[in-house]
Chain A
Amino acid sequence: NAGVMQNPRHLVRRRGQEARLRCSPMKGHSHVYWYRQLPEEGLKFMVYLQKENIIDESGMPKERFSAEFPKEGPSILRIQQVVRGDSAAYFCASFDFGRLNTEAFFGQGTRLTVV
């Protein structure tokens, strides 16, 4: 049973380009979270999705950031017109919504560097 897969592991973008980060949850998990970790900081919640539905996007910046989790395929976090301040590690986590008292499993993260 493969774990949470994130790709790419490292992504370099020039200012103004678009960044697309992918997250494939664990098999059977229909809910994912996205988090951002800035250097020397903690994990900041961005968005919580289930397939074809955004449940909570209160942590997402109002502009340039969007997320989706289609019926088929991975969840995508998209950052348009990237700026240097977007450089961070982005983690996604998935969990089994149908079970109580269950942990969320994290991917290895995507490290975005904006140059």
Chain B
Amino acid sequence: DQQVKQNSPSLSVQEGRISILNCDYTNSMFDYFLWYKKYPAEGPTFLISISSIKDKNEDGRFTVFLNKSAKHLSLHIVPSQPGDSAVYFCAARTQTGANNLFFGTGTRLTVIP
């Protein structure tokens, strides 16, 4: 039972353009959402997060949007750079109760120079 879903396994974008990575979730109890970036042979590294009380959080070139009614979030990277090429994982957690952290299956982003 995949509670966090990333339906696009891969995405290719030209350098300088916008990358949009999407994520859907099913558990309405999730109240904290995170994006991680992973390079081959390394552990995931935290990128940006958003609490359910917000609908947008921005950090430099990275912006995360949350649509609670649609149970959908997205990560926008603009402008995209070749160094952004990696696998991006969306994750969600409930901050009360079990506090478990669930991940999507990842989207491999390739930024073409």
Taking Cβ atoms with an 8 Å cutoff, the residues of A that contact B are 4, 6, 31, 33, 35, 41-45, 48, 55-56, 91, 93, 95, 97, 100-101, 103-109, 111
Contacts and interface: CB of A to CB of B under 8 A. Distances in A.
B43 A101 contact: no
A42 B10 CA distance: 12
Contact of A105 (B46, B49, B89): B46
Contacts of B103: 35, 42-45
A56 B43 contact: no
Interface stretch (B12-20, B61-69, B78-86, B92-100): B92-100
B98 A43 contact: no
A63 B106 CA distance: 28
B48 to A, nearest CB: 9
B89 A43 contact: yes
Contacts of A45: 100-103
Contacts of A97: 99
Contact of A48 (B43, B46, B99, B106): B99
Given A35-B103, A41-B105, A48 B44 contact: no
B32 A91 contact: no
Given A42-B106, A43-B44, A104 B98 contact: no
Contacts of B32: 100-101
Contact of A42 (B41, B46, B105): B105
A103 B34 contact: yes
Interface in B27-41: 32, 34, 36, 41
A101 B51 contact: yes
Nearest to A95: B101
B44 A91 contact: yes
B100 A106 contact: no
Contacts of A91: 43-44
Nearest to A47: B100
A105 B104 CA distance: 17
A55 B105 contact: no
A106 B89 contact: no
A104 B46 CA distance: 8
Contact of B99 (A31, A44, A103): A31
